[in-house]
Amino acid sequence: MKKILFFTFILGFLNSYSQTYEVGKVIDSIKIKEAQNETYTLYLPTTYDAKDLSAAIFIFDPAARGRVGVEVFRESAERFNYVLVCSNNSKNGPYQVNFDIANRLLADVFLKFNIDQKRIYTAGFSGGSRLATSIASLTNAIQGVIACGAGLPVIQNQRPHLESKFSYVGLVGDEDMNFQEMHSAKTFLNSLNIDNEILTYEDGHRWPSKFQIKRAMGWLELQAFKHRLKPINHDAVKQLYEASYALADSLKIKQPYNAVVEFERIKKNFNSYFQLDSISRLIQTIESSKMYKQESAIKKRIEQKEYRLTDPFLMKFREESVLGRSTDDFSWWKNELKKLHKEESTHQDFFSLKMMKRIRYRLMAMAIENSNAFIASKQFNHALYCDNLLVLMYPDRPYWSFRLAQSYARLDNFSSSLYHLKKAVQKGFKDVQNIKTSKSFEKFKSKKKFQKFLESLD
């Protein structure tokens, strides 16, 4: 993979331009000087002073929603004094395209603002998380990464440059399809001696709450103190410790396993500041409890079971998606999805239900992400295979039938396309305008059956 070189812009343009922007306000659509069709959303904390060096977080949203990305971080940026920048152009897609966008974005920001080269951070959600981590792993310019809802695809397939050291904090919900992936990333990062933390909480695949972002940025503050990027603020350390302790203490009774995870995190992050023997004793007490032992055993069993249930689906998908067709008219998928549904109905405990949601979301994401990639590369038979799977997984959801109709239309299969359009409407698809304006169906508008179908929608 081509190594991105945005850090050359940092050296070349630092402090060479001055322009005033309002502080404490989210500012949309700031134009990039060297690419007027590209913009970003900006937030300057109320404590921002153009004469001082500022830490900055460059945020990447998977759908290029600059304001969405900035809003999630705004509260924490105020507390910890960070400049926030989120691209309105970078989105899920080819890495090199996004690297080029990142180059221009970084160049423009360093041209306009007084950014501390030693405190540059990247962050992102889903595909934006993968991009943020890729930038850090392929350069020596990023101090830390806040990775939300997705792991390390690039640096797992291509070992990062060992000189590219950065702090990594991952955030993932316990219903997120990438839950296990993010936890497995910890082993990989440890092997590279990269400081890392994985924060989990109850949620699905979406941007984390502002509370979780505050936890992540608090950890990065501790990393900044540890690596002497800024003077240690003992009042700030005390506040972070108290917040961490309050969270861990709130979990002791009902979630002892998670309480131990949080108390162990406290020992790891605050041992150089406080005497923590009492925390060690508290952990031993919780671990000796019956409820902790039960939860620990369940967690281990669920993890093993999740891999056992998921792996056959992943292997079958790899085998057939390369061909762009099912080898048995989807009989294997129908049988295995039926077994998965039966498995789901027989387990109603908290941990098993979370696991089943992760599995279903992962299979859905696998199909739709690959379908989108195949459409982009004009491999329409392969996309059709993926869209058929989505309908099999969620037979009652109208959007997947609509999407399948589009897939058949790309292959000029009018009868199948119309059949699945009708199915979508029968299931409750109400976006009539989308049917009428979709480019996929443009070729069918002269056909009487299609015209009659459109008339039936009015």
Structural domains present in the chain: 7-225 (3.40.50.1820), 232-288 (no CATH), 306-395 (no CATH), 400-458 (no CATH)
Indicate the average pLDDT of the chain. Answer: 91
CB 367 within 8 A of CB 392: no
Interhelix angle 234-250/256-270, rounded to 10 degrees, is 160
DSSP 103-168: HHHHHHHHHHS-EEEEEEEEEEETHHHHHHHHHHHH-S--SEEEEES---HHHHHSPPPTT---EE
Residue ranges, the chain, pLDDT below 50: 1-3, 8-9, 11-12, 16, 154-162
| Residue-wise pLDDT tens digits, 300-346 | 898 889 999 999 999 999 999 999 999 999 999 999 999 998 888 88
Q: What is the model's pTM?
A: 0.86
**Count helices and strands in the chain by DSSP H and E runs:** 18, 8
The pLDDT assigned to 95 comes to 86
H helix or E strand, kind and range, residue 405: helix 398-410
CB 152 within 8 A of CB 133: yes
